[in-house]
Amino acid sequence: MRPVIQVLKIRKSYGRTVAVDEVSFEVHEGEIFGLIGPNGAGKTTTMECIEGLRRPDQGTIAVLDLDPMRDVYKLQNRIGVQLQQAQLQKRIKVWEAVDLWASLYQQKGIDGEHLLAQLGLSDKRHAWFMNLSGGQKQRLFIALALINDPEVVFLDELTTGLDPQSRRAIWELVRGIRDRGKTVFLTTHLMEEAERLCDRVAIIEHGRIIDIDTPESLVNRHCPERTVVLDTENPFAEERFRMIPGVGAVARCGSQFTISGRDDDLVTEIIHCLSENQIRVTDFRTILPNLEDVFIKLTGHTIRE
C-alpha cells in the first residue's frame, strides 16, 4: 500500500533561517498523524509545503500520488485544510461561508446543513463570522475543511486557544473523521492532544524530525522507567522492596515510598511482593511517563520553553 503522504528530505529556509531541514516521513491511509514540537519548530512550514502553499527549496513531496506544486489545483480538490490563525470576512454568515466553499470544488461534497448540524453550528447559521466564539470559529473552519469530503484532512494547531471542554469536543470530531476512513494530518504543541488523538507522531525541533512512532512506542523507547508511589507503615517494607527484581531505586519520605525501575513487569512484581509479604498499603499509584517526558528527554527542555 502506498502511503497517502510521502515527504522526502525537504528543506526550506527563510533568508538565513532554516525552518525545515531534511525532513522525511510517511503518512498512511486512515491514520491520525501528528507533527509535534514547540512553536517555531517548523511544523506549519512543513504542513504548508505538503498542502502546496509553499515551495520547499529541496526534496520531494507526494500527496495522493500528486505533486503539491505542479498539481496544486487537483490536489486541493481532494484535501481539506484548516490553517493556523485563519480568518474569514468579518461579516460573512456561517451558511454563506459553507455555501461558498461547497461551490469551489469539482465533486459534490457533503451536505452543508448536515455538516453544520454535526458540528453544532446549526443555530449559528445566520451569525456573522466576527460574532462567533473561538470554539465556534474553529468548528466552522473544520466544516470548511470537510465540505468537499476530502481524502486527507490537514489541521494546523487545531485547538490552540480553546477551553478544555471545546478541545475535547473537537478531539471527538477528529476521531470521527478518521473513523470514516479519512487520513488526518495535524500539528500541535499540546502533548496531551498528541497522546490522546494521534495514532503516530513525529517529534520535530529546529526543523528536524527527532523520532517517529506511536505515542506508546516512543514512551517505551525513550522513557522506559516505571514508577510506583505507595504508602505503608510496615517497618520491613523498604528492605523487601529493594529485593524486587528490576527495581532501580527506592526512595522513602516518611511512610511514602517511591519505587522506580525499567522493567515492564515492575508493577506486577511490586503487587506480588505486597501480597506475598502481607504489606498493608494505604495508597498505591503508578506514574507512567508520557510524551511530555519523551520530549524533555529528547530535547533537554519542555515544549513550552
Partner 1 sequence: MLRLNGLWKLTWIELKVFLREPLGAIGTIVIPVLVYLGAGRAVGRRLSPNSLVNSSFMRSGLPVLASIVIAFSAVLSLITIISIYREGGILKRLRATPLRPQTILTAHVIVKLMLTAATLTLMVLLGKRYYPVDVHVPLFSFTIALLISTLSIVAIGFLIASIVPTARFAQPIGAVLLYPMIAVSGLFVPLESLPPLLRGIARVLPLTYAVPLLQGIWNGDAWSAHLADVVALTAAFVFYTALSAKVFRWE
CB of 103 to partner 1, least distance (A): 5
CB of 300 to partner 1, least distance (A): 33
> Would you say 33 or 101 has its CB closer to partner 1?
101
**Stretch in the footprint of partner 1 (CB under 8 A) among 37-45, 103-111, 278-286, 290-298:** 103-111
Neighbours of 57 (CB within 10 A): 14
Q: How far apart are CA 96 and CA 102, in angstroms?
A: 10
> Would you say 77 or 255 has its CB closer to partner 1?
77
The full length of the chain comes to 305
**Crossing angle for the helix pair 164-179 and 134-146, to the nearest 10 degrees:** 10
17-27, strands of its sheet edge to edge: 17-27, 5-14, 58-63
Q: How far apart are CA 261 and CA 224, in angstroms?
A: 8
> Would you say 50 or 244 has its CB closer to partner 1?
50
Within 151-170, the residues that bind partner 1 by CB under 8 A are none
Residue 151's closest CA among 46, 300, 4? 4
Choosing from 16, 70, 90, 108, the residue that interacts with partner 1 (CB under 8 A) is 90
Binding mask 110-149 for partner 1 (x = CB under 8 A): ------------------x---------------------
300 binds partner 1 (CB under 8 A): no
Choosing from 14, 104, 239, 280, the residue that interacts with partner 1 (CB under 8 A) is 104
**Crossing angle for the helix pair 134-146 and 94-104, to the nearest 10 degrees:** 20
Q: How far apart are CA 238 and CA 218, in angstroms?
A: 32
CB of 109 to partner 1, least distance (A): 12
The residue written with cell numbers 466552522 in the block is 140
Q: How far apart are CA 89 and CA 101, in angstroms?
A: 13
Terminal-residue alpha carbon distance, the chain: 39
Choosing from 87, 133, 214, 286, the residue that interacts with partner 1 (CB under 8 A) is 87
Choosing from 14, 55, 86, 161, the residue that interacts with partner 1 (CB under 8 A) is 86
Residue 44's closest CA among 154, 192, 164, 170? 154
In the three-class reduction of DSSP (H, G, I as helix; E, B as strand; rest coil), residue 73 is classed as helix
284 binds partner 1 (CB under 8 A): no
**Stretch in the footprint of partner 1 (CB under 8 A) among 23-31, 84-92, 112-120, 179-187:** 84-92
Q: How far apart are CA 184 and CA 72, in angstroms?
A: 19
| Buried/exposed code over 137-161 (b: 16+ C-beta within 10 A; e: otherwise) | bbbbbbbbbbbbbbbbbbbbbbbbe
Choosing from 11, 60, 105, 290, the residue that interacts with partner 1 (CB under 8 A) is 105
CB of 249 to partner 1, least distance (A): 51
CB of 46 to partner 1, least distance (A): 15
Binding mask 44-83 for partner 1 (x = CB under 8 A): -------x-x-------------------x--xx---x-x
Binding site for partner 1 (CB under 8 A): 51, 53, 73, 76-77, 81, 83, 85-92, 96, 99-101, 103-106, 128
